Amino acid sequence: MSLPDSQIDPTICRLSESRKPAEPCTIVIFGASGDLTARKLIPALYHLFKEKQMPPSFRVVGFARREKTDDSWRTELRAALDQFSRTKPVEDAVWNEFAKNIFYCMGDMTDTAAYTKLEQLLTSFGQTALRENLLFYLATSPSQFGEVVEQLHSSQLLHKDGPGWQRVVVEKPFGHDLESAMALNTELTRFARERQVFRIDHYLGKETVQNILMFRFSNSIFERLWNRDSVDHVQITVSEKIGVGGRGGYYEEAGAMRDMVQNHILQVLSLVTMEPPVSLEAEAVRDEKVKLLKSIRAMSPDDVAKQVVRGQYFAGAVGGEARPGYRQEAKVRPDSNVETYVAMKLLIDNWRWSGVPFYVRTGKNLPMSASEVRIQFRPTPNVLFAAQCGQKLGANALTLRLQPNEGISLRFNGKVPGTSLAVRPVRMHFSYDSEFGAYTPEAYERLLLEAIVGDATLFIRRDEVETAWQIVDSIRKGWEGKALSNREFYSAGTWGPVASDDLLALSGHAWHEPLMVT
């Protein structure tokens, strides 16, 4: 019988062994009756408990206005877990042990008495650490963040400096522009230090997004190519097969730029292009991400017209299914100019990436849901094979597939077998599932564990949020007062508007559709 690679490979390095252990704590979820708690948070905590990753002693407290008992809330959560757990069926013995740690506190987030009630519940747990080590998860509207943090501070549950530790986890959106983001950050840091605020973007918890840094900085053969000397251009695609559906009201306020570019896409871009951090400490990694974002060339309104394309889908079919146009969706204005698609050419003004264009795109109602980064290398000199084949000799490319079918593909040229001299692009593909098995933890499992341990590497710092909003606000300013043109509309089920293809054609490039890897 052969041994698994982890037992026979002496080179395996477990970086997590240096992580400090998770201390006993209480996790308080504000907005506990919401969808996020049932679909993501409780399933994530259950799986951490099942995998023996939770602290030796912990409590989970749900805080919401609806009247419930501990037992009735546990019953609700069990039903949700049966539906949303990534492993089925749910193990009764594991759930029963986990459920003993779940409690409910009814109260209004604006009511001071409710926080007194919460403090009494925490005290009743007996163990000092369960009263002083507190993770507050604000699964609420951002407009309520300031109120909750102030009430926690007033009730002596949140301290800037001891006893124990307290952390505040907040969900995006982190504002809707730079001004609102700065105001929100100011509210949060009135009663908590920046190091206590954990801004969560679930995209950063995805296994393959985390692997970007590992791939870059632990493999010298690729890191030496990761610069302007070898790279011709980079394409980042985050496509969605779904339309806005029931989120028309939200999308009218956000649009694709605020919904996807300001957070997910700029996060991936920073990880792909940042300089090596001086260490794996959270602040060292986040310092480099901020430096990179600050290196993105600012755009004037004239630059926006040349480098940014917005689009909006009209009625069409996706995978044979008829889809309405965006303007026909519920809660959408019939003359709406809101973008459901964005494509951009970004330039990074630093030594490593000077002159290399970065093309990013995201959109709704596209042919498939996929996220990938394609590093297109410079073509070979126009001698030998390039001189003979011309454009038929494909350039080398490295594709980081973030979802689905996570993996990495390397495209290069090879000789077709036979007596004739023929060349054809071929691929070497690494698949996560094939190499490591199908187990991939949900993003929230990793992020919740990191918050409990106090590792902020995968969370977004204040200056990072504000720098990203500066980039987005300058683009949105260039759109002010301008209606969508005919070349910016696209049929549902296609890869976007004609104007998006024009954007790349100006530089002699073309979009590459995401890899159909199975």
Contacts of 227 (CB under 8 A, 6+ apart): 352, 353
Instruction: Classify burial at 119, counting beta carbons within 10 Å of its beta carbon; exposed 0-12, middle 13-18, buried 19 or more.
Output: middle
Q: How many helices (H) and strands (E) does the chain have?
A: 20, 17
Exposure on the CB side of residue 510, measured as CA atoms within 13 A: 5
C-alpha distances (whole Å) from 238 to each of 75, 256, 263, 471 are: 37, 11, 12, 18
Catalytic (active site) residue 264: yes
**Three-state secondary-structure class, residue 468:** helix
Dihedral angle sign, alpha carbons of residues 137, 142, 145, 148: negative
Instruction: Classify burial at 352, counting beta carbons within 10 Å of its beta carbon; exposed 0-12, middle 13-18, buried 19 or more.
Output: middle
C-alpha distances (whole Å) from 464 to each of 16, 255, 291, 425 are: 25, 21, 9, 39
- Strands of 58-64's sheet, edge to edge? 102-106, 58-64, 25-30, 134-138, 166-171, 197-200
Strands (E), 319-445: 321-323, 341-347, 357-363, 370-377, 397-403, 407-415, 423-431
**Three-state secondary-structure class, residue 432:** helix
Could you write out the three-class secondary structure of 73-105?
HHHHHHHHHHHHCCCCCCCHHHHHHHHCCEEEE
Strands (E), 224-363: 231-239, 308-314, 316-318, 321-323, 341-347, 357-363
Could you write out the three-class secondary structure of 269-293?
HHHHHCCCCCCCCHHHHHHHHHHHH
Instruction: Classify burial at 174, counting beta carbons within 10 Å of its beta carbon; exposed 0-12, middle 13-18, buried 19 or more.
Output: buried
Residue in 57, 502, 112 with CA at minimum distance from that of residue 308: 502
**Structure tokens that stand for 376 in this block:** 């297109």
- Hey, how many other C-beta atoms are within 10 angstroms of the C-beta on 96? 11
Contacts of 143 (CB under 8 A, 6+ apart): none
Q: Which of 47, 202, 264, 429 is catalytic?
A: 264
Q: Which sequence positions are flagged as catalytic?
A: 264
